[in-house]
Amino acid sequence: MATLTHHDGVTAEYLEVSPSARKKFIWIIVAGVLVLAAGLLLAVFGGGHHEGAEAAHGAAAAHGAAEHHGSPIWLKRLIMSLWHSNVFFLGVSVVGTVFLAIQSVAYAGWSVLVRRIMEALGAWVLPGGILLLVIFGLGLINHDIFHWTMPGIMTEGNANYDEIIAGKSGFLNIPFYLIRTVLYVAIWAFFTYKLRQLSLEEDLNGGTEYFHRTINVSALFLVLFAVTSSMAAWDWIMSVDVHWFSTMFGWYVFASWWVSGIAAITLTTILLKQAGYLRWVQASHLHDLGKFMFGFSIFWTYVWFSQFMLIWYANLPEEAIYFNQRLGGFNGQYTWLFFFNLVINFVFPFLVLMTRDAKRQMIMMKIVSIAILIGHWSDFYLMLMPSTLQENNGYLIEIGVALVFLGLFLILMTKRLSQASLVPVNHPFMDESLHHTT
Amino acid sequence: MTKRFALGIFDDEDVLLHAVENVREAGVKIYEVFTPFPIHGMDDALGIERSRLPIAAFFYGLTGLCFALWLQIYTLGFDWPMIIGGKPHIALPAFIPVSFELTVFFCCHGMVITFYAISKLYPRWKTPVLDVRSTDDKFVVAIELKEGVDLGNVTQLLRANGASEVNEKEMSKF
């Protein structure tokens, strides 16, 4: 039995990002740019096929005639897809830090061998946060992302005046919005940096001092993250539907980020393992990650359904508009995505990961984690696009932008992974993780 | 039926786990191990097959789901249709909470009852205790002394693997 064999020889293990791997990341970016270019060309020259949808969308349009204020469609789609992919990847990235913090606060021993992967996911938090501000700025030029940024929309007597939006001016105004966004990103980036620093110092000096300090820092971060993640969800996503609101929305977005982040940790673990690294990571560790993916897929569904059922049952026009747009609205072009979202994010992981064996096999876990990442990217698509692009949505530009983000994300993440040992050799719970059996 | 056992008493669970592995490797069949608390890796060390309870649980859950859907669709859709909140008679989203609860209900109760049945746990069952110290601070390995199993050999084997004492005991309840 391997369970009690003592692994006294745990040694540091360094990831070397091979030139071929780096080339792959570059190819992902190149492929993204090509798809993006194709999408842009189609959007610029192949436009006009949406005219038929115009009549149908009247039924679902919320505010005004929803005339296309601002940019030409291709530019609007480009800016929206940048915002969409950035919000998704920023969330996946920060979940690495959140998961790390939760493992620390819970005194979890099993996860020590995969801690460095969580730390590495956080590499995107700061660049992603800065990009978020840049894209917000791009969106301001023609008010492509946020309807409430329109000039005069909150001034009585102006042609753009909207009473409901004006009522939210205390919260939704550009200076306060920017302060909040900078604050969220600053908090996330600071704690990501701090936890990483503590972990690296522990590698050098050992002892239990860093372990205890990590717990304190993590506890503080979790409290702040609970508030900022929820508010970020209102600001970055819910406020595109500025007339609409849902008290479940913070949880809904968090659940989506959270399960995607865990899928990303799992996928990275498997890919590293298959590349010959992480030799102490066993089926038991994979099993636990699998339980998290399984459990939180159900959690996401629970939150999603809680939001859906209350709105469906009460059927208040100002609330039901959200699902009207997504389910049958705009000529029904989001309907397939609505059901696809439920199948890939709930039915598929639920049925596939139900058995113990599936959670212990790399191939099954790999398929499910990729499905979850694609599924939740689509979930964010479904949160953002129907309210902003309405009937003019598409997929090529969006997929191209997502691939570019993925490539950049992977470059930064692998860089951080290679900067320190993949095994936090001096962690006090190392032995527990080595002997982890489930 | 009366059975005869050799009981190896251990003080430490790590020693016990190694002993169990070694005893089985030596070809001696272990009847059962009694410990005050669950020991990680003991199921594997004893070579106990994985329980099939989860498979049963899945089907109990499925039964609950079907029952819940039948109950709601039949009563609200056919037997006594009522208009509630302007929704259709068979309004699936409204049925999901009840379906979920009944799935869980059937699944849990089915599992608990099945577990009791296969473990032969029923009211008034008296658990035979081979050595009362296994409920306190000792770990007990029981080896049945059938034909062809020699007490001397077993004693030697257990002692060599760290048993602090080896006793012989007869038990009629097994």
| Mean pLDDT, rounded, for B145-159 | 86
What pLDDT is stored for residue B151 in this prediction? 85
What pLDDT is stored for residue B55 in this prediction? 93
Distance between CA atoms of residues A190 and A316, nearest Å: 42
What pLDDT is stored for residue A61 in this prediction? 43
**pTM (2 d.p.):** 0.88
Structure tokens at B74: 């039949």
Distance between CA atoms of residues A409 and A161, nearest Å: 41
What pLDDT digit, counting tens, does each position of A337-379 carry? 999 999 999 999 999 999 999 999 999 999 999 999 999 999 9
What pLDDT is stored for residue A55 in this prediction? 41
Quick one: which H or E segment has residue B10?
Answer: strand B3-10
Listed by number, the residues of chain A in 186-205 with a beta carbon closer than 8 Å to a beta carbon of chain B are: none
Q: A313 contacts in B (CB within 8 Å)?
A: 85, 87, 93-94
Find, in chain A, the residue whose alpha carbon is nearest to that of B100: A302
Instruction: Tell if the CB–CB gap between A1 and B21 is shorter than 8 Å.
Output: yes
Long-range contacts, A275-278 (Cβ 8 Å, 24+):
A277/A13, A277/A15, A277/A422, A278/A13, A278/A113, A278/A114, A278/A422, A278/A423
Q: Which of A4, A312, A437 sits opposite B93 (nearest CB)?
A: A312
Q: B14 contacts in A (CB within 8 Å)?
A: 4
Distance between CA atoms of residues B95 and A312, nearest Å: 13
Q: Angle formed by the axes of helices A283-314 and B92-118, to 10°?
A: 140
Find, in chain A, the residue whose alpha carbon is nearest to that of B92: A309
What percentage of chain A exceeds 70 in pLDDT?
93
What pLDDT digit, counting tens, does each position of B41-98 carry? 888 889 888 889 999 999 999 999 999 999 999 999 999 998 888 899 999 999 999 9
Q: How far is CA A357 from the centre of its chain?
A: 28
Q: How would DSSP label each residue in B45-114?
A: HHTPPPPSHHHHHHHHHHHHHHHHHHHHIIIIIIIS----TT--SS-HHHHHHHHHHHHHHHHHHHHHHH
> What's the whole-number average pLDDT of chain A?
90
With 50 as the cut, is the pLDDT of residue A167 above it? yes
Please list, in sequence order, all residues whose beta carbon lies within 8 angstroms of the beta carbon of residue B19, skipping any fewer than 6 positions away: B8, B10, B141, B158, B161, B162, B163
Q: Which residue has the tokens 């902003």?
A: A388
CA distances from A395 to A138, A215, A389 (A): 21, 43, 12
What pLDDT is stored for residue A47 in this prediction? 60
Please list, in sequence order, all residues whose beta carbon lies within 8 angstroms of the beta carbon of residue B31, skipping any fewer than 6 positions away: B5, B142, B143, B144
Q: How far is CA A136 from the centre of its chain?
A: 17
With 90 as the cut, is the pLDDT of residue B124 above it? no
Q: A4 contacts in B (CB within 8 Å)?
A: 14, 17-18, 41
How far apart are the CA of B93 and the nearest CA of chain A, in angstroms?
Answer: 6
Bridge partner residues of B139 (DSSP): B10
> What's the whole-number average pLDDT of chain B?
90
Domain with CATH 3.30.70 in chain B: 3-50+129-171
Find, in chain B, the residue whose alpha carbon is nearest to that of A6: B14
What pLDDT digit, counting tens, does each position of B90-107 carry? 999 999 999 999 999 999
Find, in chain A, the residue whose alpha carbon is nearest to that of B18: A4
Instruction: Tell if the CB–CB gap between A4 and B17 is shorter than 8 Å.
Output: yes
Residue B44 in contact with partner chain A when CB distance is under 8 A: yes
With 50 as the cut, is the pLDDT of residue A3 above it? no
Distance between CA atoms of residues A85 and A92, nearest Å: 11
What pLDDT is stored for residue A56 in this prediction? 42
With 60 as the cut, is the pLDDT of residue A166 above it? yes
What pLDDT digit, counting tens, does each position of A245-299 carry? 999 999 999 999 999 999 999 999 999 999 999 989 999 999 999 999 999 999 9
With 70 as the cut, is the pLDDT of residue A4 above it? no
Residue A24 in contact with partner chain B when CB distance is under 8 A: no
How far apart are the CA of B123 and the nearest CA of chain A, in angstroms?
Answer: 32
What pLDDT is stored for residue A69 in this prediction? 58
Residue B101 in contact with partner chain A when CB distance is under 8 A: no
Residue B97 in contact with partner chain A when CB distance is under 8 A: yes
Q: Which of A4, A313, A435 sits opposite B94 (nearest CB)?
A: A313
Residue B123 in contact with partner chain A when CB distance is under 8 A: no
What pLDDT is stored for residue A60 in this prediction? 42
With 50 as the cut, is the pLDDT of residue A403 above it? yes
Structure tokens at A370: 């990729």
State the complex-level ipTM. 0.79
What is B3-50+129-171's CATH number?
Answer: 3.30.70
Find, in chain B, the residue whose alpha carbon is nearest to that of A311: B93
Instruction: Tell if the CB–CB gap between B40 and A3 is shorter than 8 Å.
Output: yes
